[in-house]
Amino acid sequence: MHSPSGLELAGLACLVAAVPAVAYLGQSGRRHTGAARRAHLLLAAGGAIATAAALAGLASALLGGHHHDPGHIRTLATAVAIGMGCGILVLLAGTVALPGATRGPAAAVRHVLDGLVIAAAIWFVGWVLISRPTRILGDLTPYPCVAVLLPAVLAVLALGLTAVMTLHAHRPRRNTVRVSAGVSLVAVAATALCGGICRERDAFALASVFVLTAGLILVAYAVRAADRPVEVTGDVLERGGAYAVVPMVAMIAALGYHLVRGGEMDALGYFGAAVVGLALVARQYLALDDVRRYTVQLRQREAHFRELAHTDPLTGLANRRGLQRALRDSPENAALIGIDMDGFKIVNDMRGHDVGDAVLVEVGVRLRRNLLAGDVAARLGGDEFAVLMHGDAEEAVLAAHRLLAVLGEPYEVDGGPIFLSASVGVADTGELLHDADLALRYAKQRGKNRVERYQAGYDELLRRRGTLQGELRHAIDRDQLRLVFQPVVALPSMRPVGAEALLRWTHPDLGPVRPDEFIPVAEESGLINRIGAWVLEQACKQLADWLAKGHDVWVSVNLSPKELHNSDYAGQVADVLAEYGVPPQRLVLEVTEHAVATDMEELVGRLAELRETGVRIALDDFGAGYSSLTQLRTLPVDILKIDHALVAEPESRTGTAAPLVDVVVRLGHRLGLEVLAEGIGSPAQREVVEEAGCRLGQGSLFGWGVPAEHFETRLRTLRPSGPRPLPAPRSTPPSDAPARSQVVRLGPGMRQVRALLPSDPDFADQNVGSVDSGREMGQG
């Protein structure tokens, strides 16, 4: 048996030193997760296989004593080449799998092909240098040992992959390139070891051991940071193709040099050229396939983004740009329906934007549900929608009325149902989008919840609306506003017991402006709060004057929904009452039934705050909206004002005129409410109201709104002659006296009990001396 020298033992010891590097790679793989874990375990497995093959081959070659048996040497070299080749392939796979090495499996294949092109070029140049007549290695040329070819091929492949990683890997590339360079050293070491064994060059074999160990240590050192976050950068192919040109130039130059020196092409040369050609063809095919797939993706994304650019993201309907595109492609018999949801801003303010978005989504669902083939529904922004349909003007108007009914149904959302109406404008000629918008704005101006078809005069009307908005801002300062008072009479005596304060505007140039024209302008422009505060102050000022003159009367003031949603409105009312010394029971605030339906929960709280000040609340236009029995039991109101539409109702099938008036009066009395019938314009209507048991009336039969001095003249004519008796002096009860009860007469046959505290002026005597009494409300 051959006794190993000290140098040989040093080589074996150095090879054994590679084992800790392999162990570290395995430990790193177990410590990491995901792609890093897979890559590190592959590197550990590849290093272990290469190290084991090298250790077995070197030990067998140095210690086996068969140096002079050529067959055994070639078999040993082949076995070592196959073993280390398998390990190098696993190492290459681990290198490609490292995080940041490639962007995916397809990119990994491209990298391998790019490395193969470079490797084939290196192979071809190497073949030129070691073949005849060059033979730069001389006698060391490993022709007799075919086993060297496998590790040599893998070595040039590893070098090519290292070059590709240097160009393609994501930043920071340093650690990935180190791993690839370490694998290249292992491949070079395998080539040297197989060559040393095959040519019986112990120096080559021992040198390969040091190179193998260095390569594995370099790999182990580099993987510590190879899985850190990387920066995804563009592929080098996007900057040029020099990586493929340089190997081809090198091959052509080497082949020319070889032929000039008298060399010939053999199987190895043809093999290198064929590999380069096939690799380039495969790489070009993949590149073309990438371009094709990328083009398809670009087209799909372009179509997707184009669709997004024309689609509303919340409702899924077309947006304004999509509607304009549909308008360009629409036929001549097209009509456009513009839709705006009335009172939607209040929903957003009081219930939140999430609830508002849910309502908008439901609006989109209802519009889609009522579309015909070829129609286009769009959300133009906010709570504004449009429907482009095919048909003439009559069909468009019918469709608009159908949509008005559909959109007016309750919206069931979290926190309770929401009631909204819609204003609809229809245009079938001219500039559809412009004309439908004008018709829509005119519908909102005329009271909302209606359908308007575009007419040529709308442009002038909207110009006037703009003028009104500008002039209304200065109407108070220029003393252009005034109040008129419409009597509220007791039935059947028709004696005035109260008055409703109505706002009038007379402009020096525009003349008298109707309330139904400028009030919506004030609502939309935000001026209603200032105007409402002025109306409240003037009404209380006039009421204080009348009370000071001894007139037994109360005044009602209309309350805008926007005023009602002001959190400090109750405090403002209390301040005005205190400023003019008006008893709170003498002031009645009227809120419309539509405002009740907009936000029930918020409204109940606001009205309760107002009632705490002592004022009375009247529910105006009852019977024309959405009120229900449940709402009447919940709302803190004192008076029901029957809508004029119920008073003017024709005879029913039973022959009884206005049957709903009787129902509403009975309902109000059963709930402890006073009932006032408005819109009485004829003696016949007055008789119907009286027969129903209603004791308060208002309408043209009793007089229109008149200036304060005219109404005061009427009050003076009805006052009894002689001085008004003074009330008896009241004794002040002790502050700790128990509370008493007081019976208040609300109407015919109705009583209500309220608690009296010691601080109440009525505590000492049981006389009811405010508007609580039937006489003050016109019941005496």
What 3-state class would DSSP assign to 311? strand
Q: Could you report the per-residue pLDDT of 488-540, keeping only the tens digit for each?
A: 999 999 999 999 999 999 999 989 999 988 988 898 888 999 999 999 999 99
Q: Any idea what DSSP says for residue 145?
A: -
pLDDT band for position 720 (cuts 50, 70, 90): low
Predicted local confidence at residue 771, as pLDDT = 36
pLDDT at 714 over 50: yes
Q: What is the mean pLDDT of residues 388-404?
A: 92
pLDDT averaged over every residue in the chain: 79
Residue 58 has pLDDT above 80, yes or no: no
Cβ-proximal residues to 121 (8 Å cutoff; 6+ apart), any chain: 160, 246, 247, 248, 250, 251, 272, 276
Q: According to the 3-state scheme, what is the secondary structure of 192-244?
A: HHHHHHHCCCHHHHHHHHHHHHHHHHHHHHHCCCCCCCCECCCCHHHCCCHHH
Of 313 and 733, which is predicted with more confidence? 313
pLDDT of amino acid 719: 60
What is d(CA 99, CA 338) in angstroms, rounded to the nearest whole number? 56
Tell me the pLDDT tens digit for each residue of 175-185.
Answer: 888 888 888 89
Task: In whole angstroms, give the CA distance from residue 41 to residue 37.
Answer: 6
pLDDT value at residue 777: 34
Q: What is the pLDDT of residue 498?
A: 95
- Model confidence at 733, pLDDT cuts 50, 70, 90, reads very low
- Say what the pLDDT of residue 594 is: 67
Q: Is the pLDDT of residue 768 over 90?
A: no
Between 200 and 512, where is the model more confident?
512
| 636-651 average pLDDT score | 82
CA atoms of 599 and 417, how far apart (whole Å) = 9
Between CA 312 and CA 364 the distance in angstroms is 10
Question: How does DSSP assign 404-415, residue by residue?
Answer: HHHHTS-EEETT
- Return the minimum-mean-pLDDT range out of 143-147, 271-275, 320-324, 754-758: 754-758
Two tokens at 689? 């109201």
pLDDT confidence of residue 618: 93
* CB 131, CB 266: distance < 8 Å: yes
What is the distance between the alpha carbons of residues 632 and 624, in angstroms, rounded to a whole number?
14
354 CB-contact burial (10 Å; exposed 0-12 / middle 13-18 / buried 19+): exposed
Across 604-624, average pLDDT: 87
Note the Cα 733 to chain centre separation in Å. 63
- pLDDT higher than 70, residue 637: yes
Task: Give me the pLDDT at residue 226, please.
Answer: 54
Mean pLDDT for the stretch of residues 650-657: 50
Nearest-angstrom CA–CA distance, 235 and 170: 9
Kindly report which listed range (64-68, 307-311, 475-479) carries the lowest average pLDDT score: 64-68
Percent share of the chain, pLDDT over 90? 29
Higher-scoring residue by pLDDT: 728, 412? 412
Q: 169: which 2 tokens? A: 């890997």
Comparison of pLDDT for 745 and 374, the residue scoring more: 374
Burial class (CB in 10 A: 0-12, 13-18, 19+), 56: middle
Query: For residue 179, what pLDDT is reported?
Result: 87
| Local confidence band at 650 (pLDDT 50, 70, 90 cut-offs) | low
Q: Which two tokens stand for residue 380?
A: 């133009």
Which tokens go with 357?
């978005």
What is the reported pLDDT for 271? Answer: 73
pLDDT digits (tens, 9 = 90+) for 209-244: 888 888 888 888 887 655 554 454 444 344 445 556
pLDDT at position 448 is: 86
Locus of tokens 């004794």: 731
What is the SS3 assignment for 441-481?
HHHHHCCCCCEEECCCCHHHHHHHHHHHHHHHCCCCCCCCE
- CA atoms of 540 and 536, how far apart (whole Å): 6
The structure tokens 């390990």 sit at: 87
What is the sign, positive or negative, of the torsion defined by CA atoms of 203, 206, 211, 212? positive
**Cβ burial, residue 54 (10 Å; 0-12/13-18/19+):** buried
pTM, two decimal places: 0.49
